Amino acid sequence: MIYNRKQIAVMLLEGIVTNHAEEVYLKHTTSTFIHHNIFFKGDRDLLLKALIENNIEYPSKKLTIKYVIAEENYVTVFSHVDLDGHLSYATVHLFRFNEDKIEEMWDFSQEIPQTIINEHGAF
0.95 exceeded by the pTM? no
Decide yes or no: CATH 3.90.470.20 for domain 5-111: no
Residue 14's contacts (CB-CB under 8 Å, 6 or more residues apart) are 63, 65
What are the sequence ranges of the domains in the chain? 5-111
pLDDT per position as a tens digit, 58-108: 999 999 999 999 999 999 999 999 998 889 999 999 999 999 999 999 999
pLDDT per position as a tens digit, 20-66: 999 999 999 999 999 999 988 999 999 999 999 999 999 999 999 99
Mean pLDDT of the chain: 94
Separation CA 75–CA 4 (nearest Å): 10
- The one-character DSSP state at 15 is H
Between CA 22 and CA 31, with CA 28 as vertex, the angle to 5 degrees is 85
